[in-house]
Structure 1
């Protein structure tokens, strides 16, 4: 998703109004935040020896 947003921003930067570029930037930022959240959860889970069900 992140790569797709970046590609759209690159290809359409001269076409889209700033308002719509802002929307794409917000989507991109949201994807980056979600990736950090998932990475943090994975680190937490492995540190505490949890599987996907939350059990050790």
Structure 2
């Protein structure tokens, strides 16, 4: 897999996770631990995208 393809895949995962987090935040029955874990994964993806994009 090329670097560009890998970056695109990471961006896609980040966008999907972002949409899921937003959806969960609007839900009254959200599990705070699951939400926290999703946010951590979203941040990890963002940092990896930033690191590889240099």
Q: TM-score, normalised by structure 1?
A: 0.64
Q: Extract structure 1 runs of 4+ deviating beyond 4 A.
A: none
Q: Name the structure where helix makes up a greater proportion of residues.
A: 2
- C-alpha distance in 1 between matches for 2:49 and 2:43: 10
Structure 2 stretches of 5 or more lacking a match? 1-12
Q: Work out which of the two has the higher radius of gyration on C-alpha atoms and give 1 or 2.
A: 1
Instruction: Identify the structure with bigger relative contact order (alpha carbons < 8 Å, sequence gap 6+).
Output: 2
Match of residue 46 from structure 2: 32
Alignment RMSD: 1.0
Q: TM-score, normalised by structure 2?
A: 0.66
Structure 1 stretches of 5 or more lacking a match? 41-56
Secondary structure of 2:30 counterpart: coil
Residue-pair matches, total: 40
